[in-house]
């Protein structure tokens, strides 16, 4: 067996055997296959796809490319993962909420991919927050405080770590077999007993329409079943960005505000839906409506916010920013984006907002790119808002004046403003 033959087989639209998939994953992880060869195979998979059996084999090979964590000593661990979005700060908010119900949160998160953000980049905008704990430290923290969120360690699904970074820089992100194997391999390796998946759908997500989102959801649910991990997928709307900020420290601030009770409507709906299913899987209540109320109670009584503090501090993060947001790095230039006419915002293309945020430095174009935590976009107006000509729609936060002005112009073009009020959007589209 050799990699050239495997690449040619997929290039010619043939099915790969379990052995071929394992050969590729093992040898790429061990650096016996070069990045350019892996890139060719990944692109062939992206273009020609994989069936259910190939995808399951790829997932299992990736999961077994490193250690498989055993979290059984922690009890029922319900993991959550998102297929990625713009302004997606759900983990930052949901992790302490779930932990406030005494459900252990032992989560491994990723960095940004393509134009979507990553939880780890967001957490790294908190001064001194340590994302790279050893597995022993990670488990110890969960035992001590009920919560820890770290980056994928090299030992856990290392094949995914390499492939994820590679896909990002070769424009091979939006693929059902690649996304489902990436997510499910990490979930299997990370040792969760049950999984809730946020499958984002819309222009700012990897899945652009409900049909593809459903396909991805069903594929991941199937893999979950095969791995004996109960899995629920919630398809959520990603036509416009989630919440009002896009950019790392800006999103941390929005998350803290949420936990203090200042909730953006779309973020609130997604949090309540995902959170309620996590409570259900953890055995904390069968009734979704009642679970939503329980979550709101733990926000109102401050328990979720307290957990956030305990969590960040236990991972060495400096929590003094909670009293004074100025302690987080600030962008040098803040430029308003003004409405060009009267009317209603009818569209705010999430992908374009994600690209603007990335252009400002909040995301990566090359895998070595350094993230600027302080830059990004604050959206004062979203779809459905009435606006007057000259009113402020958004702010660009940037470190370079020229870039700030050029991206403000770009964002102005992204806002579609028309006379007729659009239909209210649905934030949760389907539960599978
Ligand atoms: N999240 C992941 O972990 N992997 C993907 O491929 C996409 C989103």
Residues 13-60: tens digit of each pLDDT? 999 999 999 999 999 999 999 999 999 999 999 999 999 999 999 999
Ligand 1: list residues with CB < 6 Å.
83-84, 110, 113, 164, 178-179, 182-183
What spacing in Å lies between the alpha carbon of 135 and ligand 1's midpoint?
21
**Residues 192, 272 within the same domain:** yes
Q: Region 156-162: what's the mean pLDDT? A: 90
pLDDT band at 143 (very low <50, low <70, confident <90, very high): very high
Please report, for the domain that includes residue 398, its CATH number.
3.90.1170.30
Q: 29 lies in which domain range? A: 3-49
What spacing in Å lies between the alpha carbon of 324 and ligand 1's midpoint?
33
What spacing in Å lies between the alpha carbon of 4 and ligand 1's midpoint?
26
pLDDT band at 174 (very low <50, low <70, confident <90, very high): confident
Q: Is 160 a catalytic residue?
A: yes
CA 27, 6, 227, 281 dihedral sign is positive
Task: Decide which of 322, 352, 381 is a domain's last residue.
Answer: 322
The atom of ligand 1 lying closest to the CA of 116 is: 8
Confidence at residue 261, expressed as pLDDT on a 0 to 100 scale: 98
**Residues 252, 210 within the same domain:** yes
Question: CA 18, 21, 26, 29: dihedral to nearest 10 degrees?
Answer: -150
Checking if the pLDDT of 263 tops 80, the result is: yes
**Residues 206, 249 within the same domain:** yes
Compute the distance between CA of residue 248 and CA of residue 120 in angstroms, rounded to an integer: 9
Give per-residue pLDDT as tens, 408-432.
Answer: 999 999 999 999 999 999 999 999 9
Q: Pick the residue whose CA is nearest to atom 1 on ligand 1.
A: 83
Please report, for the domain that includes residue 296, its CATH number.
3.40.1030.10
pTM exceeds 0.85, yes or no = yes
165 Cβ contact partners less than 8 Å away, ≥ 6 residues apart: 367
Do 311 and 148 contact (CB within 8 A), yes or no? yes
Mean pLDDT estimate for the chain: 95
Using only C-alpha atoms, what is the Rg of the chain?
Answer: 21
Catalytic residue among 10, 80, 186, 352: 186
Confidence at residue 16, expressed as pLDDT on a 0 to 100 scale: 98
Query: Which tokens belong to 103?
Result: 């459900």
Compute the distance between CA of residue 102 and CA of residue 96 in angstroms, rounded to an integer: 10
What spacing in Å lies between the alpha carbon of 259 and ligand 1's midpoint?
26
* 55 inside domain: no
Compute the distance between CA of residue 428 and CA of residue 238 in angstroms, rounded to an integer: 10
Checking if the pLDDT of 291 tops 70, the result is: yes
Give per-residue pLDDT as tens, 386-398.
Answer: 999 999 999 999 9
Q: Is 64 a catalytic residue?
A: no
Beta bridge partners, 30, equal none
Catalytic residue among 79, 88, 121, 160: 160
In the chain, the number of structural domains is 3
* 54 inside domain: no
Task: Decide which of 305, 322, 339 is a domain's last residue.
Answer: 322
Checking if the pLDDT of 154 tops 70, the result is: no
* 221 inside domain: yes
Residue with tokens 């230039």, as numbered in its chain = 333
**Residues 36, 109 within the same domain:** no
Checking if the pLDDT of 375 tops 90, the result is: yes
pLDDT band at 227 (very low <50, low <70, confident <90, very high): confident
**Residues 376, 392 within the same domain:** yes
**Residues 112, 33 within the same domain:** no
What spacing in Å lies between the alpha carbon of 113 and ligand 1's midpoint?
8
Confidence at residue 336, expressed as pLDDT on a 0 to 100 scale: 98
pLDDT band at 191 (very low <50, low <70, confident <90, very high): confident
Checking if the pLDDT of 220 tops 90, the result is: yes
* 315 inside domain: yes
Q: Pick the residue whose CA is nearest to atom 2 on ligand 1.
A: 183
Confidence at residue 96, expressed as pLDDT on a 0 to 100 scale: 98
**Residues 297, 260 within the same domain:** yes
**Residues 170, 292 within the same domain:** yes
**Residues 262, 197 within the same domain:** yes
* 291 inside domain: yes
* 285 inside domain: yes
* 311 inside domain: yes
Confidence at residue 370, expressed as pLDDT on a 0 to 100 scale: 87
The atom of ligand 1 lying closest to the CA of 110 is: 3
Confidence at residue 256, expressed as pLDDT on a 0 to 100 scale: 98
Q: Pick the residue whose CA is nearest to atom 8 on ligand 1.
A: 83
Please report, for the domain that includes residue 23, its CATH number.
1.20.970.10
Task: Decide which of 301, 322, 343 is a domain's last residue.
Answer: 322
Q: Which runs of consecutive H residues, i.e. helices, occur in 227-328?
A: 248-259, 265-281, 288-300, 303-314
Q: Is 167 a catalytic residue?
A: yes
Confidence at residue 109, expressed as pLDDT on a 0 to 100 scale: 87
Q: Pick the residue whose CA is nearest to atom 6 on ligand 1.
A: 179
Checking if the pLDDT of 90 tops 90, the result is: yes
What secondary structure letter does DSSP report for 150? Answer: E
Give per-residue pLDDT as tens, 301-359.
Answer: 999 999 999 999 999 999 999 999 999 999 999 999 999 999 999 999 999 999 999 99
Confidence at residue 112, expressed as pLDDT on a 0 to 100 scale: 78
* 432 inside domain: no
Single out the residue of 355, 353, 359, 399 nearest to residue 379, CA to CA: 353
| 79, 85, 110, best to mutate for ligand 1 pocket (most atoms within 8 Å of CB) | 110
**Residues 272, 313 within the same domain:** yes
Do 132 and 150 contact (CB within 8 A), yes or no? yes
**Residues 294, 395 within the same domain:** no
**Residues 228, 249 within the same domain:** yes
Checking if the pLDDT of 114 tops 70, the result is: no
């Amino acid at each position: 067996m050799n990699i050239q033959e495997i690449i040619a087989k997929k290039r010619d639209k043939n099915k790969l055997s379990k052995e071929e998939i394992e050969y590729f994953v093992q040898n790429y992880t061990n650096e016996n296959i070069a990045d350019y060869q892996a890139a060719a195979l990944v692109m062939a998979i992206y273009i020609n796809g994989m069936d259910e059996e190939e995808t399951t084999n790829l997932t299992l090979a990736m999961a077994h490319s490193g250690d498989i964590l055993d979290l059984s000593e922690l009890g029922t661990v319900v993991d959550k993962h998102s297929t990625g979005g713009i302004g997606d700060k759900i983990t930052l908010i949901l992790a302490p909420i779930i932990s406030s119900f005494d459900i252990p949160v032992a989560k491994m998160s990723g960095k940004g991919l393509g134009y979507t953000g990553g939880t780890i980049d967001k957490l790294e905008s908190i001064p001194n927050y340590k994302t790279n704990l050893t597995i022993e430290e990670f488990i110890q923290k969960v035992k001590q405080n009920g919560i820890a969120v770290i980056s994928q360690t090299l030992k856990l699904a290392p094949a995914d770590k390499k492939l994820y970074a590679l896909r990002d820089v070769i424009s091979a992100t939006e693929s059902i077999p690649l996304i489902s194997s990436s997510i499910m391999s990490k979930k299997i390796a990370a040792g969760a007993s049950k999984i809730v998946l946020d499958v984002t759908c819309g222009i700012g997500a990897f899945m652009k329409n409900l049909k593809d989102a459903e396909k991805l959801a069903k594929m991941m649910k199937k893999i979950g079943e095969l791995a004996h991990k109960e899995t629920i997928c919630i398809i959520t709307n990603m036509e416009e960005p989630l919440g009002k900020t896009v950019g790392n420290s800006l999103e941390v601030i929005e998350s803290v505000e949420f936990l203090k009770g200042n909730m953006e409507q779309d973020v609130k709906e997604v949090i309540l839906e995902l959170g309620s299913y996590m409570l259900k899987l953890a055995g904390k209540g069968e009734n979704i409506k009642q679970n939503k109320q329980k979550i709101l109670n733990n926000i109102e009584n401050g328990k979720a916010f307290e957990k956030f503090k305990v969590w960040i501090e236990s991972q060495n993060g400096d929590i003094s920013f909670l009293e004074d947001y100025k302690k987080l790095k600030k962008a040098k230039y803040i430029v308003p984006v003004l409405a060009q006419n009267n009317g209603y915002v009818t569209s705010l293309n999430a992908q374009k907002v994600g690209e603007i945020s990335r252009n400002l430095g909040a995301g990566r174009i090359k895998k070595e790119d350094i993230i600027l935590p302080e830059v990004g976009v604050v959206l004062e107006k979203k779809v459905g808002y009435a606006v007057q000509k000259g009113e402020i729609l958004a702010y660009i936060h940037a470190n370079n004046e020229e870039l700030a002005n050029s991206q403000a112009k770009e964002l102005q073009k992204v806002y579609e403003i028309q006379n007729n009020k659009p239909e209210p959007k649905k934030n949760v589209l389907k539960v599978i």
